[in-house]
């Protein structure tokens, strides 16, 4: 992953380079309160507090971005942009909602922008020029039987394709609810929807997903 972005923001008090793929710290039971404490320090320019926030939440942000885009080619780059936004906007942050709500809202805005950019330039990736430098993903050799692994891979690919075909708002709602276990209330804040509207969006999305995956469900 290229870190040129960090050089650009160095003059704006962005911290030195860090690895977005490092193993995140396990969340504490009072993680919401801890997030607010870290953000209070970030507002004062504390880069160590920012690193703590990144380590606590980067895996969720990278995973959400990858599922929204249907691949992980740009997930780390966009996650990096999310936390750059957190750093640049820290002075204006007010804890009127959970920190994760604000974080997912920043993620939503950047991902929606990227999806629209891809529609305009369908063959172009954020880091296409550097794609040859990226290491190949090593295959995961597990104890699963080949037929079982193949079936699992096919099912997961079918699910991802079905999610990819959902409208942006439905896709985000499904991913936040299914994979991140986000409440209806928080999804509503992230997507600027009422709770009944969130439930309606999820109902339509699930109906469409069941239809697209019918042959797997019937099997």
User: What are the pLDDT digits (tens) for 143-168?
Assistant: 444 555 555 778 788 888 899 999 99
Q: Does residue 24 have a pLDDT over 70?
A: no
Q: Do 113 and 157 share a domain, yes or no? A: no
Q: Do 118 and 51 share a domain, yes or no? A: yes
Chain Cα centroid distance, residue 32: 18
For residue 183, being part of any structural domain is answered with yes
Domain boundary among 131, 157, 186: 131
Query: How many whole angstroms separate alpha carbon 50 and alpha carbon 29?
Result: 19
Domain boundary among 82, 102, 131: 131
Which residue range(s) make up the domain with 196? Answer: 142-219
Q: What is the mean pLDDT of the chain?
A: 80
Q: Give 146-179 as a DSSP string.
A: HHHHHHHHHHHHHHHHHHHTS-HHHHHHHHHHHT
What's the rounded mean pLDDT across residues 160-185? 94
Q: Do 87 and 185 share a domain, yes or no? A: no
- CATH number, domain with residue 5: 1.10.1740.10
Do the beta carbons of residue 21 and residue 32 sit within 8 Å? Answer: no
pLDDT tens readout for residues 206-216 = 999 999 888 77
For residue 105, being part of any structural domain is answered with yes
For residue 14, being part of any structural domain is answered with no
Q: Do 169 and 122 share a domain, yes or no? A: no
For residue 137, being part of any structural domain is answered with no
Q: Do 177 and 204 share a domain, yes or no? A: yes
Give the 3-state secondary structure percentages of the chain, helix then strand then coil, rounded to 5.
70, 0, 30
What's the rounded mean pLDDT across residues 97-115? 95
pLDDT tens readout for residues 58-105 = 999 999 999 999 888 889 999 999 999 999 999 999 888 899 999 999
- CATH number, domain with residue 181: 1.10.10.10
Q: Give 55-108 as a DSSP string.
A: HHHHHHHHHHHHHHHTSSTTHHHHHHHHHHHHHHHGGG---SS-HHHHHHHHHH
The reported pLDDT for the residue numbered 62 is 96
Q: Do 95 and 176 share a domain, yes or no? A: no
Q: Do 122 and 219 share a domain, yes or no? A: no
The CA angle 139-140-142, to the nearest 5 degrees, is: 140
Query: How many whole angstroms separate alpha carbon 182 and alpha carbon 99?
Result: 13
Query: How many whole angstroms separate alpha carbon 26 and alpha carbon 161?
Result: 30
For residue 136, being part of any structural domain is answered with no
What's the rounded mean pLDDT across residues 17-41? 70
Phi, psi of 122 (to 5 degrees): -60, -25
Q: Do 114 and 215 share a domain, yes or no? A: no
Using alpha carbons, list the distances in angstroms from residue 102 to 30, 36, 41, 171.
Answer: 18, 11, 17, 18
> Rounded to two decimals, what is the model's pTM?
0.74
The reported pLDDT for the residue numbered 136 is 34
The reported pLDDT for the residue numbered 166 is 94
Q: Do 127 and 156 share a domain, yes or no? A: no
DSSP label at residue 135:
P
Do the beta carbons of residue 51 and residue 87 sit within 8 Å? Answer: no
The reported pLDDT for the residue numbered 198 is 98
Domain boundary among 104, 131, 158: 131
Q: Do 188 and 110 share a domain, yes or no? A: no
Q: Do 116 and 87 share a domain, yes or no? A: yes
For residue 206, being part of any structural domain is answered with yes
Of 91, 95, 20, the C-alpha closest to 61 is 20
Do the beta carbons of residue 61 and residue 190 sit within 8 Å? Answer: no
Number of domains in the chain: 2
Confidence label for 4 from pLDDT (cuts 50, 70 and 90):
very low
Q: Do 30 and 127 share a domain, yes or no? A: yes
């Amino acid at each position: 992953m290229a870190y040129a972005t960090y050089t650009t923001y160095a003059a704006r008090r962005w911290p030195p380079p860090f690895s977005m793929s490092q193993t995140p710290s396990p969340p504490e039971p009072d993680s919401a309160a801890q997030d607010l404490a870290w953000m209070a320090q970030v507002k004062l320019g504390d880069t160590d507090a920012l690193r703590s926030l990144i380590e606590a939440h980067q895996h969720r942000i990278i995973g959400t971005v990858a599922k929204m885009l249907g691949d992980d080619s740009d997930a780390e780059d966009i996650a990096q942009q999310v936390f750059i936004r957190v750093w640049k906007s820290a002075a204006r942050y007010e804890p009127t909602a959970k920190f994760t709500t604000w974080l997912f809202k920043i993620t939503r805005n950047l991902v929606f922008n990227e999806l629209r950019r891809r529609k305009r330039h369908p063959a172009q990736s954020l880091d296409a020029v550097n794609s040859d430098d990226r290491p190949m993903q090593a295959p995961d050799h597990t104890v699963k039987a080949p037929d079982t692994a193949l079936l699992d891979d096919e099912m997961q690919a079918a699910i991802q394709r079905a999610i990819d075909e959902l409208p942006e708002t439905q896709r985000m709602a499904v991913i936040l609810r299914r994979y991140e276990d986000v409440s209806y209330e928080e999804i509503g804040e992230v997507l600027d929807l009422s709770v009944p509207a969130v439930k309606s969006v999820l109902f339509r999305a699930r109906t469409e997903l069941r239809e697209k995956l019918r042959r797997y469900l019937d099997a």
